[in-house]
Structures are given as structure tokens and as C-alpha cells.
């Protein structure tokens, strides 16, 4: 690329101070200035190729600066609100921002927010090689070092367990009835959670491969040796029944235990008091329930939680929780009595008879 | 940038080897110093025990600027190149070891690659037998080259696509402090490195292929890419492989676990020896400088 014509062109371009930013010319003194036509340089040369740039990368200094600014801003905010800067927590920050910048936007993520930079900027991998250019990780050149090193470690553990099995067999102590890892109530981590753990993107195929490898590890008799490693990749499912708030048992002056609970269905609201060792009478708004619910179907709905083998059934079930034992709470939950029915009446739309019913359709 | 000196050989080298031996360092920008070509001409002048040495500068262990230090540093780098077997690698293996590790067993006659015929001793009951004397020579050369690269702080990449030995090779690489790639080879790992990794990444200075075929019995993409990027390669070529693009082919069996364990052990020992020797020389230099 050392044509003299090119050199002439370059010098002219430098003289006119023109658009070719990629040229770094230093030879203009020796070459005579030729009357050369201006070369048109396409704008695609200096425009940033946004597609090829990839996700925006932040340097470590930038992130550190942001963290500093956040800390300083937090103190300013605390002073503004008249609170102690030392004990200003994230909840206080959220509260203050909501107070100072009230926003009526429905989308919660669009509202003004002030959080620690680690939560806002995505986690990025730092420079992965030392001063001489040698990468730190031995699988760096595969392109996905964390994922492949995880597979490598799991396979290593499988081999270790096989060696242990062989040793036991040699000694004659091999048994299949070894301590099994408890896997009930937990699930494998999802692909997104694994990506977060590895700070790398993996495909569905890779995820399936990883799970297959873990299952292979679990299928071996002596897998309990690696229990804590396996449990790192399992997530405990929360016991659903613990989510319900059980209303506290209260006692009236006569010593009779009672509990109060609310329930809602469509537009009806109910608030009930359930008393212990009562006569079995049900009064609604002062009137006997036979007057309010002449239909057997409605009365069955009312009595359903009490028999086990919309706003009243839920309230009774909730109130009942404080009287019954834990196992029965689970049975009530599984019978579907504690799930609030979220269905409401759908609005009627213009151009239609009702919410879904359309006017008669005529072909012509 | 790192330059490699020409390691003295007893025999005439193949034209492939000449081109790749005298190479400049690999960065993702892929520069080639002009001094390379003069080196090549020097080498091809005569098949004698030549050690045509280039002056190297840049990323090496020491970074001192004073004159006696640079002289000592140059001595550390250049002295091993004057000896034919500086690291005494011929004591690492014998012909008998190769035989017992079943290195001589090739594939069946039908799988034979035409270019492997010079390396075969013959065939017995349709199975090709690899000439172990040639293997021993080639292996000696390959180990010598690997040792010199490791001595000068080069990055060595262990590559294989055999799932049977992937774990073994990764473990070997980790134990020598080098790098391994026994997984699916993505397209532009070497040729498009500044985008696949980050700009300014340093590419491997030597690639060791423990099996030159991939899982569909085609030549591994890494061989062609390394040739494109001027990275020297050492490869264990079986009787169904193509040895043409590989800088230091080593004809031998790549299917038996015994043979693979032996190769891994040999390469690990060479690399460790070379690195230990380098540390020793640095220490001696430090001692002699302070004295």
C-alpha cells in the first residue's frame, strides 16, 4: 500500500483538514502539492458501527466513580430529608425519592430510582490476562471459560466418585444402600440463574447438557460425597402454605376463642368472626343464613371449608386457619379454599353486545 | 512480539517447517517483521547445524534497560539455541516405551491417508504399522521445539476433539500452566480473535494437536486457522490423518488410552523442564548481576 499517488492524495487531504480520520500522515513536507481531486470518503468509515460494537462496556474506573457519586448523593439526600446520613438504608432512599419525585407512571421501572451502581450496571468480566498477555484461566481460549470449567469440575467429581467406588469394591465394602441426597422440595437452577452464576451466556443445548451431567452425578451410589456441590445448583421451593398469614387467635371476656378474617369475590366483601365451641349458627348481617342463601348450592359453598373431607368461603377458611393444626392448614390450602379468586366482571366494549358477545354477523 | 530462533536440525527440513519456524510473534494485529524473511533465507542456505538467531525484544521475563542486563538477557535467550538437545529430552523416552504404549498401531488399510505412506513401516493383517524410528525422530524434534517455546514464555494450547481424552488433556494443560481447548471449536477463534475475545488478546504461540481429526473424521479447523495465522503446530498424526499443514507432525497412534497418556506425560515433562530451566537461568542471572 505504498503507491505514490496515494501519498499525494493523503497529503492533500491533510492540508484541507478533511474527513478521513483514519489517515495519519507525516510525509507532506517532501511531496510536492499536486492538484489532485478530492477523494470522497464514505461516511460509513467514521460512523460508529453500532451493531458490531456489542453491549456497552463500562471500565472499572467508571464504575468506581459512579459508586463514589452514589455514596456522596446518598449523604446529600439524607441531609435533605433531615435524617442521619450514617444510618440511611436503601428503603429510606426509595422512600425519599418517591417523596421528592412523585410519579404517576404505571410502569414501576419507569419511575425515578436511585440504587447502588452494582444493581444498575450489568456485571462485566474484567481483563482476563496478566501484564505479559498470558490469560489467567486455562480454558480462556475456548471462549466460554466458566461454563466449560464447570463441566470439567463436574466430570472430575464423577471420576473421583468412580475411583472411590472401585476402592470400596476392592475392600469388599461396596453397598448400594448409601446415604441419598434429599432432592424433594428443590429444583435445578434455571438457565437464567446459571447464566447469572457463571457471568456468561449459554445456549439451551448447553444448559441441557449441564443438567444431564449433574443427573449422571446424582445417579451414582456414592454421590452423597459431593452433596454440598450439588445443592449449590438446586433451589429450594418455598413451602406454599407458609405464605398465608394466619390471623391471631383472640379471646373475648367469656374465654371463648374467636378469630376475625376478610374475604373478597367480584365486588362483594365479607368480614367474619368465627367463634370456638359454638352452636353452629351462621348469621349474616344479623339475619339467619337460610334467608340470605335460599339455594342449596350457595349454602354448600358456605359449609365447604368446615367439612373439608365467593367472599364468605375465603373469609371462613382464613379464620379457620387459627383454629386448626398445621397438617389441616395444608389440606385446606390444597382444596383450593385459600386461593383468592381474582376474576372480576369484564367490561362491555363498544361495537359489541357485551364483553365477548358480538352483534349478528352478516356476510353481505 | 516474540521471535523464534531456528533450532538446529541434522536433516534438511521440509519447506513447511522453514516457513513456520522463523516467525514473528502473534498478536491479534498479526504483524510480521521484515527481519523474518532474511532469517528464512539464512536458514535455507545450508543444511548444517545452524542456529540463526534473531534479536528479540519485548515481552520476555526481564524488563531491565541497562546494557549488561540486556546482554545477560540475550544470553539467556540465545544460549539454548546453540545446543542440539539443550533440555536432554532424548532421555525422556525410548523406542521400547513407544512400542509398549502401542504407538505403532495405525488404522486399517482402507482408512490410510496417502500422505502418511512415507511414515508407515508396513501393514500386518490389514492394520497399518507406523515406523517407530521415524516417530522417535519426529517426536524428539517436536518436544525440542515445545521446550524452546515454553522456555521463552510462549503460550501453548493443547487441542483435541476426542471426548475420550478431553478431560485428560485439560488436566495435563492445567498442571503445566498452559491452556487447553478440547471443546467445540467456534469459527473465528484464531482468525477473528479481537472480536471473539477482546481487542488486544494474545494468541497462542504453539498449538499441540493430540488428535488432528474432529468428531466427523475431518481435519480439525484449528490446523488450517493456525496456518493462516502463522502459528506453528505440533500434531500427533495417525494413519488416517493429513500431515501436510502441520509444522511438526508426529506419526503415532491417537486412539489408545496408553498412547495418549504417554504423550500427555511427555509433553508435560518437557514443558515443566523448560520452565524450570528458565527459572534457574533467571536466578543465576540475578545472582551474577548482584555479585
End-to-end CA separation in angstroms for chain A: 74
Contact (CB<8Å) B186/A138: no
Q: Which residues of B touch A141 (CB under 8 A)?
A: 157, 179-181, 189, 204
Instruction: Output the average pLDDT for chain B.
Output: 81
pLDDT bucket at B19, cuts 50 / 70 / 90: very low
Report the pLDDT value the prediction gives residue B209, as an integer from 0 to 100: 96
Concatenated DSSP letters of B131-196: -HHHHHHHHHHHHHHHHHHHHTT--EEEE---TTTHHHHHHHHHHHT-EEE-S---TTTTTTHHHH
* Alpha-carbon gap: B188 to the closest alpha carbon of chain A (Å): 10
Give the minimum alpha-carbon distance from A200 to chain B in angstroms, rounded to a whole number. 13
Residue with the three cell numbers 516417530: B135
**Placement of cell 342449596 in the chain:** A296
Residues in CB range of A43: below 8 A, 6 or more apart: none
If one compares A338 and B158, the residue with the highest pLDDT of the two is B158
What sign for the dihedral angle of Cα A13, A16, A22, A25? Answer: positive
Task: Please answer whether residues A229 and A280 qualify as being in contact, where contact means their C-beta atoms are separated by less than 8 angstroms.
Answer: no
Whether residues B173 and A138 touch (CB distance < 8 A) is answered with yes
Q: Do the chains contact at A134 and B195, CB–CB below 8 Å?
A: no
Quick: pLDDT tens for B88-140: 999 999 999 999 999 999 999 999 999 999 999 999 999 999 999 999 999 99
**Cα end-to-end span (Å), chain B:** 31
For chain B, percent of residues with pLDDT exceeding 70:
77
Give the pLDDT of residue B70: 82
Closest Cβ opposite residue B179 in set A127, A135, A152:
A135
Distance from CA of B268 to the nearest CA of A (A): 14
CB contact (8 A) between residue B180 and residue A156: no
Whole-model pTM above 0.80? no
10-residue stretch averages of pLDDT, chain A, 364 residues long:
47 48 48 71 71 70 91 94 91 93 91 91 77 90 92 95 92 83 85 90 93 92 87 82 74 82 84 78 79 76 63 83 82 83 89 91 89
| CB-defined contacts A:B, below 8 A | 52
Cβ–Cβ gap B157/A141 under 8 Å: yes
Nearest by CB to A148, from B177, B183, B201: name it: B183
Q: Name residues whose C-beta falls within 8 Å of residue B146's C-beta, 6 or more positions apart in sequence.
A: B156, B206, B208, B234, B267, B270, B271, B274
Are B202 and A152 in contact (CB < 8 Å)?
no
Please say if the pLDDT value at position B30 is more than 80. no
Other Cβ atoms closer than 10 A to A99: 9
Contacts (Cβ under 8 Å, ≥6 apart) of B209: B159, B160, B220, B222, B223, B233, B234, B235, B236, B246
Using the beta-carbon criterion (under 8 Å), do A159 and B202 form an inter-chain contact? Answer: no
- Tell me which residue in B153, B179, B183 faces A140 most closely, judged by beta carbons: B179
Residue predicted with more confidence, B182 or A13:
B182
Cα→Cα distances A160→A68, A178, A219, A222, A330, Å? 47, 16, 14, 10, 42
What sign for the dihedral angle of Cα B117, B120, B122, B123? negative
Q: Determine the pLDDT at residue B90.
A: 93
Question: Angle B20-B21-B24 (CA atoms, 0-180°, nearest 5)?
Answer: 80
Interface test with A, best of B180, B188, B196 (most A CBs within 10 A): B180
SS3 sequence, chain A? CCCHHHHHHHHHHHHHCCCCCCCCCCCCCCCCCCCCCCCCCCHHHCCCCHHHHCCCCCCHHHHHHHHHHHHHHHHHHHHHHCCCCCCCCHHHHHHHHHHHCCCCCCCHHHCCCCCCHHHHCCCCCCCCECCCCCECCCCHHHCCHHHHHHHHHHHHHHHHHHHHHHHHHHHCCCCCCCCCCCCCCEEECCHHHHHHHHCCCCCHHHHHHHHHHHHHHHCCCCHHHHHHHHHCCEEECCCHHHHCCCCCCEECCCCCEEEEEEEEECCEEEEEEEECCCCCCCEECCEEHHHHCCCHHHHHHHHHHHHCCCCHHHHHHHHHHCCCCHHHHHHHHHCCCCCCCCCCCCCCCCCECCCCCECCCCCC
Q: Stretch B62-85: mean pLDDT, rounded?
A: 77
Amino acid at each position: 500500500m505504498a503507491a505514490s499517488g496515494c501519498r499525494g492524495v493523503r497529503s492533500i487531504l491533510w492540508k484541507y483538514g478533511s474527513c478521513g480520520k483514519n489517515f495519519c500522515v507525516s510525509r507532506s513536507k517532501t511531496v510536492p502539492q499536486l492538484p489532485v481531486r478530492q477523494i470522497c470518503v464514505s461516511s460509513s468509515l467514521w460512523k460508529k458501527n453500532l451493531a458490531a460494537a456489542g453491549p456497552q462496556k463500562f471500565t472499572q474506573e467508571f464504575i468506581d466513580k459512579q459508586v463514589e457519586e452514589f455514596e456522596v448523593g446518598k449523604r446529600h439526600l439524607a441531609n435533605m430529608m433531615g435524617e442521619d446520613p450514617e444510618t440511611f438504608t436503601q428503603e429510606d432512599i426509595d422512600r425519599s425519592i418517591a417523596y421528592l419525585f412523585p410519579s404517576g407512571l404505571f410502569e414501576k421501572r419507569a419511575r425515578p430510582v436511585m440504587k447502588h451502581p452494582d444493581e444498575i450496571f450489568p456485571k462485566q468480566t474484567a481483563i482476563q490476562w496478566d501484564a505479559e498477555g498470558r490469560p489467567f484461566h486455562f480454558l480462556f481460549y475456548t471462549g466460554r471459560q466458566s461454563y466449560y470449567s464447570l463441566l470439567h469440575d463436574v466430570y472430575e467429581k464423577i471420576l473421583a466418585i468412580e475411583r472411590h467406588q472401585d476402592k470400596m469394591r476392592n475392600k469388599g465394602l461396596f453397598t448400594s444402600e448409601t446415604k441419598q441426597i434429599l432432592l424433594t422440595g428443590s429444583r435445578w437452577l434455571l438457565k437464567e440463574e446459571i447464566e447469572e452464576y457463571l457471568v456468561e451466556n449459554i445456549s439451551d443445548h448447553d444448559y441441557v447438557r449441564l443438567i444431564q451431567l449433574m443427573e449422571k452425578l446424582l445417579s451414582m451410589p456414592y454421590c452423597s460425597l459431593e452433596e454440598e456441590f450439588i445443592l449449590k445448583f438446586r433451589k429450594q421451593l418455598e413451602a406454599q402454605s407458609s405464605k398465608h398469614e394466619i390471623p391471631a387467635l383472640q379471646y373475648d371476656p367469656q374465654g371463648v376463642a374467636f378469630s376475625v378474617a376478610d374475604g373478597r369475590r367480584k365486588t362483594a366483601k365479607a368480614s367474619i368472626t368465627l367463634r370456638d365451641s359454638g352452636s353452629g349458627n351462621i348469621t349474616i348481617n344479623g339475619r339467619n343464613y337460610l334467608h340470605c342463601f335460599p339455594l342449596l348450592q350457595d349454602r354448600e359453598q358456605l359449609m365447604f371449608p368446615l367439612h373439608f373431607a365467593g367472599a364468605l368461603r375465603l373469609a371462613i377458611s382464613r379464620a379457620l386457619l387459627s383454629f386448626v393444626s398445621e397438617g389441616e392448614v395444608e389440606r385446606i390450602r390444597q382444596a383450593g379454599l385459600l386461593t383468592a379468586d381474582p376474576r372480576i366482571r369484564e367490561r362491555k366494549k363498544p361495537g359489541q353486545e357485551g364483553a365477548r358477545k358480538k352483534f349478528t354477523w352478516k356476510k353481505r | 512480539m516474540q521471535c523464534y530462533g531456528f533450532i538446529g536440525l541434522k536433516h534438511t527440513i521440509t519447506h513447511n517447517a522453514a516457513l513456520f519456524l522463523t516467525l514473528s510473534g502473534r498478536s491479534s494485529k498479526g504483524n510480521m517483521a521484515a527481519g523474518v524473511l532474511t532469517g528464512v533465507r539464512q536458514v535455507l542456505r545450508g543444511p548444517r547445524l545452524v542456529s540463526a538467531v534473531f534479536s528479540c525484544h519485548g515481552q520476555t521475563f526481564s524488563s531491565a534497560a541497562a546494557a549488561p542486563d540486556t546482554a545477560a538477557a540475550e544470553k539467556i535467550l540465545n544460549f539454548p539455541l546453540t545446543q542440539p538437545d539443550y533440555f536432554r529430552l532424548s532421555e525422556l523416552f525410548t523406542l521400547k516405551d513407544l512400542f509398549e504404549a502401542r504407538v505403532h498401531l495405525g488404522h486399517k488399510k482402507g482408512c490410510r491417508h496417502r500422505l502418511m505412506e512415507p511414515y508407515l513401516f508396513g501393514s500386518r493383517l490389514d492394520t497399518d504399522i507406523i515406523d517407530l524410528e521415524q516417530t522417535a525422530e519426529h517426536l524428539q524434534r517436536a518436544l525440542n521445539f515445545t521446550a524452546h517455546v515454553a522456555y521463552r514464555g510462549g503460550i501453548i494450547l493443547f487441542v483435541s476433539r476426542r471426548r475420550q481424552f478431553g478431560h485428560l488433556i485439560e488436566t495435563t494443560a492445567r498442571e503445566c500452566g498452559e491452556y487447553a481447548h478440547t471443546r467445540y471449536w467456534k469459527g473465528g477463534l484464531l482468525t477473528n480473535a479481537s472480536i471473539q475475545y477482546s481487542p488486544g488478546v494474545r494468541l497462542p504461540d504453539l498449538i499441540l494437536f493430540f488428535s488432528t481429526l474432529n468428531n466427523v473424521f475431518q481435519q480439525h479447523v484449528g490446523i488450517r486457522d493456525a496456518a493462516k495465522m502463522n502459528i506453528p503446530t505440533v500434531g500427533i498424526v495417525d494413519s488416517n490423518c493429513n500431515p501436510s499443514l502441520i509444522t511438526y507432525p508426529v506419526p503415532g497412534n491417537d486412539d489408545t488410552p496408553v498412547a495418549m497418556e504417554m504423550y500427555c506425560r511427555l509433553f508435560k515433562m518437557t514443558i515443566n523442564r523448560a520452565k524450570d530451566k528458565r527459572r534457574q537461568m533467571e536466578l543465576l542471572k540475578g545472582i551474577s548481576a548482584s555479585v
